[in-house]
């Protein structure tokens, strides 16, 4: 077998491989000799089938399998010997006009392996990176405000006296049936709905029309869905609701004390405050994490300049662009609506693709050189989190990921990225800066 490099331009590589017909014939003979003891053919005892007869029956099929195995074996072994890492799966080209002769064993096997290698990346000294981490200090007042909201959401309600009419603040139990152009629409009906009047929980204009109704009253109300409503078939559309009031409950007093906390299953009020403080810290902690990660990635993007594998870049750009086009089609918008052109948009998204590929390669190098690993337990947790996002379809989603290695890899990749980021952050010089929650969240919105 002869391997010759025919192209070495930047990251592009092309290798021409020639396997003499005699080598193929030897491999085929060995393959058929091994097969002789395994196959059962009428008229012949096991192990006594003549080689010529086996070759006539299975020669072409065996040669096709041998060639496939040989190509895979040669590709992997050659790259390993050359010490090269392909950016994507190498492409193999076999001349079609020689295929019959090769299969017949009368011609050498010629094929070309084309691929792009990963660039050589020299990691910088991460301890020299200086980062500012915005943090929010949680005040007692903010915790108390959240406690009030919890208490309000658990406000007790008692049935109003017979004949009482609905007033703002009451909770009503009702049945309703929504109709679009006189026909019921999906998701617009409930026989035992509950609604606190004035909460803004339903469509604008719905709750106001229930005020002054009494138990047993029936009414048809007219409302219009907001233009930005999630269901496109209802967004901005005028509809009617047939409603009937079944029960009216008056709001009771809200008391913030240990008794209120115990009704929620907690030891006391202090425990409730502790939990709420933790939830707020977690919320702002996620925003802080996102901010410092973005700042770190910006610095890494500035620190590294190297040639990117073209096909890897094109693959990333194609994925981004398909999502952009899909979202625009769903929203009914055009590039003109976004004050741009398709060409300008492609240029901007190509820059995003370049950044993603560059940073992905850097973080991959960080992980490989520092032996960052993702455990199977971490992948399993990510899988279960994903499965829980599809109630009622858990088993199907679970089986999909278990049987699809590429899908499973998509769960592993973000975990690996976060662990690589953590590795760098542990080495970087980080200074905490106290900011207001408005400032922190505003920053995140600007970055989004």
Q: Are 14 and 116 in contact (CB under 8 A)?
A: no
CA distance 360 to 368: 12
pLDDT band at 443 (very low <50, low <70, confident <90, very high): low
Which tens digit of pLDDT belongs to each residue from 25-36? Answer: 888 888 777 777
Q: Percent of the chain, pLDDT > 90?
A: 62
Provide mean pLDDT across the span 281-295. Answer: 91
What is the rounded average pLDDT for all residues in the chain?
Answer: 90
Q: What residues does CATH 3.30.70.1050 cover in the chain? A: 2-116
Higher pLDDT, 394 or 130: 130
Average pLDDT of span 306-327: 94
Topology of the domain covering 157-252: Chitinase A; domain 3 (3.10.50)
Give the span between the Cα atoms of 160 and 167, in whole angstroms.
11
> Mean pLDDT, to the nearest integer, of 77-82?
92
The CA distance from 71 to 181, in Å, is: 64
Output the pLDDT for position 38: 67
Dump pLDDT digits (tens) for 404-431.
Answer: 988 999 999 999 999 999 999 999 999 9
Asked if 237 and 224 touch (Cβ cutoff 8 Å), the reply is: yes
Whether pLDDT at 11 is above 80: yes
Contacts of 425 (CB under 8 A, 6+ apart): 131, 292, 296
Which range among 56-70, 202-216, 223-237, 346-360 shows the weakest confidence by mean pLDDT? 56-70
- Is residue 79's pLDDT more than 90? yes
Q: What is the pLDDT of residue 260?
A: 86
Query: Looking at residues 142-152, what average pLDDT do you find?
Result: 89
pLDDT one-digit tens code per residue, 167-202: 999 999 999 999 999 999 988 999 999 999 998 888
Q: Give domain 261-447's CATH architecture.
A: Orthogonal Bundle (1.10)
pLDDT (0 to 100) of residue 161: 92
pLDDT surpassing 80 at residue 51: no
Which tokens go with 171?
Answer: 């909770």
Instruction: Give the mean model confidence (pLDDT) for residues 3-16.
Output: 94
What pLDDT score does 43 carry? 66
**Mean predicted confidence (pLDDT) in 336-340:** 89
Q: pLDDT tens digits, residue range 364-410? A: 999 999 999 999 999 999 999 999 898 888 889 999 998 998 899 99
Give 446's pLDDT tier (boundaries 50, 70, 90). Answer: very low
Planar angle of CA 212, 213, 217, nearest 5 degrees = 160
pLDDT tens track for 247-272: 999 988 888 889 888 988 899 999 99
Q: H or E segment at 115? A: strand 109-116
Strands 218-224 and 238-251: antiparallel
Residues of the chain with CATH 3.10.50.40: 157-252
From residue 355, alpha-carbon distances to 203, 249, 288, 351, 361 in Å are 42, 57, 22, 6, 10
Every domain of the chain with CATH number 1.10.3120.10 lies at 261-447
pLDDT computed for residue 323 by the predictor: 93
Q: How far apart are CA 358 and CA 352, in angstroms?
A: 10
pLDDT at 63: 86
Superfamily of domain 2-116: Trigger factor ribosome-binding domain (3.30.70.1050)
pLDDT at 207 over 80: yes
Query: What pLDDT is stored for residue 65 in this prediction?
Result: 87
Model confidence at 447: pLDDT above 60: no
């Amino acid at each position: 077998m002869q391997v010759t490099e025919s192209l070495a331009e930047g990251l592009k590589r092309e290798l021409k491989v020639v396997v003499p017909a005699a080598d193929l014939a030897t491999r085929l003979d060995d393959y058929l000799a091994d097969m002789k003891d395994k196959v059962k053919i009428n008229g012949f005892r096991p192990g006594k089938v003549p080689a010529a007869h086996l070759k006539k029956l299975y020669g072409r099929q065996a040669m096709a399998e041998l060639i496939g195995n040989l190509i895979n074996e040669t590709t992997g072994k050659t790259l390993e010997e050359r010490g090269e890492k392909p950016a994507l799966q190498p492409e193999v080209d076999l001349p079609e006009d020689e295929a019959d002769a090769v299969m017949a064993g009368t011609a050498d096997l010629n094929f070309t392996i084309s691929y792009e290698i990963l660039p050589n990346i020299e990691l910088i000294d991460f301890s020299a990176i200086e980062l500012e981490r915005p943090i929010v200090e949680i005040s007692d007042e903010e915790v108390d405000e959240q406690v009030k909201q919890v208490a309000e959401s658990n406000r007790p309600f008692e049935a109003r006296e017979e004949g009482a009419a609905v007033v703002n603040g009451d909770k009503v139990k009702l049945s309703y049936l929504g109709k679009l152009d006189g026909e019921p629409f999906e998701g617009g009906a409930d026989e035992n709905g509950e609604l606190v009047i004035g909460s803004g929980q339903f469509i604008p204009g719905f709750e106001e029309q229930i005020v002054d109704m009494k138990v047993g009253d029936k009414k048809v109300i007219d409302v219009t869905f907001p233009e930005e409503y999630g269901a496109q078939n209802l967004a901005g559309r005028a509809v009617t609701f047939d409603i009937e009031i079944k029960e009216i409950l008056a709001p009771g007093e809200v008391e913030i004390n240990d008794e209120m906390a115990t009704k929620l299953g907690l030891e006391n009020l202090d425990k409730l405050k502790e939990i709420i403080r933790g939830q707020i810290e977690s919320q702002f902690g996620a925003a802080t994490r996102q901010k410092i990660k973005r700042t770190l990635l910006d610095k890494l993007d500035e620190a590294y300049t190297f040639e990117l594998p073209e096909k890897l870049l094109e693959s990333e750009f194609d994925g981004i662009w398909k999502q952009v086009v899909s979202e625009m089609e769903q929203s009914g918008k055009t590039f003109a609506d976004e004050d741009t052109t398709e060409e300008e948009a492609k240029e901007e998204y190509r820059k995003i693709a370049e950044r993603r590929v560059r940073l992905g390669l850097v973080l991959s190098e960080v992980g490989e050189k520092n032996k960052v690993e993702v455990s199977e337990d971490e992948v399993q947790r990510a899988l279960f989190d994903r499965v829980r996002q599809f109630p009622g379809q858990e088993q199907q989603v679970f089986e999909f990921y278990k049987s699809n290695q590429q899908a499973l890899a998509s769960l592993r990749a973000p975990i690996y990225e976060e662990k690589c980021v953590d590795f760098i952050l542990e080495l970087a010089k980080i200074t905490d800066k106290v900011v207001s929650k408005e400032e922190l969240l505003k920053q995140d919105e600007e970055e989004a």
